[in-house]
Amino acid sequence: MTRDPARRAVFLAVLVGAGYMFPLYLAGAVGVAIRADLGLTGTQLGAVVSTFFAVGAVLLPVGGRVVDRIGPRLSARLAVAGAAACLLAVAVLGGSYPGLLAAMAIGGVGSTVAAPVGGMLIARAVPPGRRPLAFAMERSSIPAATLLAGASVPTLAAVVHWRVVFAVGAVLVAAILLVPVPRLAEVVARQDRAPLRPLTPLLLVTAMFVLGSAAATALSTFLVGYGAGIGLGAGTAGIALAATSAATIAVRMTLGLLGVRVPGRATSAALLLVGAAGFALLAVPSAAAAWAGALLAGAAGWGWTGVLGLAVVQSHPDAPGASTALVQAGGCAGGIAGPLLMGALVEHAGYPAGWLVLAGLAALAGLVAAANGGIWRWISQGVDPRTGTSLTSERTGVSYSGTTKGVAVENGPLTGIRVLDVSTILAGPLCCRILGDHGADVIKIEHPEAGDGMRGHGAAKDGVPLWWKEISRNKRAVGLKLSTPDGADLLLRLAADADVLVENFRPGTLERWGIGPERLHEVNPGLVIVRITGFGQTGPYAARAGFGTLAEAMSGFAHLTGEAGGPPTLPAFGLADSICGIAASSAATMALYARERNGGRGEIVDMNLLEPIMDAVGPGPMVYDQLGIVGERHGNRSTNNAPRNTYRTKDGRWVAVSTSAQRIAERVMELVGHPEVVAEPWFATGHGRAAHADLLDAYVGGWIGERTEAEVTAAFETAGAAVAPVYSARDLVEDEHVRSTGMLTTVPDDDFGPLLMHNVMWRSTGAPGRIRFTGRALGADTDEVLAELGVDEHEVARLRAERVVA
């Protein structure tokens, strides 16, 4: 079984979907035998199936909320147990009509948690790009059960009693309970009760499910009986039912493979209208019409649900279980009405009249689909369903109601990935913050007494570090002393269910504690291990203490930075650490992708502070190797082009000018009143202009010095030239572009209330990053995380008393 949480989630969803609906399809497949044995009318047989749906329709809204709270593992077990109990009850109690009704009621109870499980699992554990196919597979599990029942059961029922068939089905479904289901609680956000907004489009979807389910359920319940009545025979009619299910699967899987390229609104409407034509064709009493009509009615009339299931959870990401449950309740309502209506029509007006009525229901559902633009708008236009804002300009779009600690982002690209942040200071924590911003469940592990040194970096307010709130956002905080045997054991237990571990101890430290890569891979071969050090795991400098300042010095950055003839200049912030942290997040995601392609084996990433900034400084080593030239300091000037500098304005502000492109350089000189230099031969190249930087700076600096910053920026913008003001933090906060594009955002914090901080680094329409909560107090989530490992309260108290945890 793969360790990919997304695949595990889909596997579980398919099993649950196939199992919980199996009683209904057995009932349809042996409907003729049930009626003959118990002397039931068509209406009474319809009532048997409707009982299952009636219980589900009443309890599903509650079941959806329960699923969102208790997670997939228990929900899946309850769902499968309910289906097996229903099948067994039919075998035991099915000798009478009341007993048959009671047995189906048991199945209905199980469906109240089973129906929402698939949608919730996929919403919480499957990245958005893979969701269309995931929903297609989950939705196809239900007709797959129909296919199995239709292909084999009618023939089997001709040999053994139909109650024996249900007993065999109970054993098969119960066997699903024996399948080892991987731990998935960590990829499910146990949300508080979230409102179902937008509601109107969701209600229209529910109406579609009422109508579509009524038609589809009646088809599966009465097709075998109808086929037998027109001379196909029970076995052949069962094969027709199986073929109908196969066609439904084919349509759903095709739409899933096409993914977001499918226009959901038009596709759903068209399929339902084609399905309506199929039901109308069934009204023609011939074997050929029955085959063609059944295929069209099943494939088109019910093949759209995977596309719509995706739309529902995408538009209601805070409550995927509850939103799915409401729609499924509509399906149950249709499941009640369809068989009852069809049974009555068959009994009093005949099959043709019944098929025509079902055609009308499917056509009406198609019209509702065509009218329901709201449910698709959130996906096709990249609009956040709760705020109506465009995700192309708002990266988070998150609706806050306090600093709740959702374990996973519902639609982040790293949803379902668990990261252990065992690093300190800046590079490793920044790497993990980026992963957490994009959906990963990050567990921040710190020394239970000293904590991460980042807690002491930067300014503080009322004794609370401000930088910590940002660098450790979206991370659950656990205090754990790794140097102790108990602490090492707990880390290994956490690593067993993790996908990425990021650490920055000196080489050999983890090995000394018994938790090095070799041991970690023994408990979890798929774990990606990112090791960040000053100089790498090997080489003569490996054992040296390493900090960003040293990397900035050795990389060539300090040598090139500063005024000509002045000392080398270091940056006033963690430049090397920040570059390394961003690079490490990229390395971690590449390693996760590589794991998908190499059979699930996790890689060890050896990352050092020196290499990324050395790369960023430029091709200095290559230039020296080929030309023997060593770069020197030139202040704010560039050796590649000119004018390039900072210039003081009339009102005492500073602006920066860049002319990397030839045409931009020409525009600048024309703007400042010296177009004659453009005609000089040396002006035609960047190096030529750089050689005349004194002259060009004098022209540009003189012009800028006679004007205010506002006048300079306005003139440059009009001329199509490149200029920017030199900003302080205050200027950034006040800048209209920075605020309007969401580069800075306000997040609620337990200590400070609304807290301004940097937003997620980039925009993404399909899988936006989100800030769920700010950096937390040391050990704030220790109890919760240890409880997920199965550590009881007494053991936690002992560990805390021995200062192993905090």
**Residues designated as active site:** 577
Instruction: Note whether 64 and 75 are within 8 A (CB).
Output: no
The first and second tokens of residue 138, run together, are: 């989950």
To which residue do tokens 């009982």 refer?
A: 51
> Hey, how many other C-beta atoms are within 10 angstroms of the C-beta on 735?
15
**Residue 754 parent element (H or E):** strand 753-758
Q: Which of 412, 16, 9, 446 is nearest to 186 (CA)?
A: 9
Peptide bond into 198 cis (omega under 30): yes
Residues 782 and 494: their CA atoms lie apart, in Å, by: 12
Helices vs. strands in the chain: H and E counts, helices first: 34, 13
Phi-psi region of 4 (alpha: psi -120 to 50; beta: other; left: phi over 0): beta
Residues 235 and 33: their CA atoms lie apart, in Å, by: 12
Q: Which of 57, 371, 61 is nearest to 208 (CA)?
A: 371
Give 232-239's long-range contacts (Cβ < 8 A, gap of 24+).
232/287, 232/290, 234/32, 234/154, 234/155, 234/157, 234/158, 235/154, 235/155, 235/158, 237/154, 238/29, 238/149, 238/150, 238/151, 238/152, 238/153, 238/154, 238/155, 239/150, 239/151
Q: Could you give the 3-state DSSP secondary structure of residue 648?
A: strand
* Contact residues for 410 (Cβ-Cβ < 8 A; gap 6+): 123, 124, 189, 313, 317, 318, 320
Residues 742 and 638: their CA atoms lie apart, in Å, by: 32
Q: What is 304-317 written as a DSSP string?
A: THHHHHHHHHHH-T
Q: 713 vs 222, 517, 699, CA distance in Å?
A: 75, 54, 17
> Hey, how many other C-beta atoms are within 10 angstroms of the C-beta on 793?
10
Instruction: Note whether 246 and 301 are within 8 A (CB).
Output: no
Q: Could you give the 3-state DSSP secondary structure of residue 109?
A: helix
What's the one-letter identity of residue 677?
V
Residues 510 and 516: their CA atoms lie apart, in Å, by: 5
Q: 676 vs 269, 428, 515, 686, 720, CA distance in Å?
A: 66, 53, 69, 17, 19
Residues 306 and 328: their CA atoms lie apart, in Å, by: 13
Residues 421 and 623: their CA atoms lie apart, in Å, by: 38
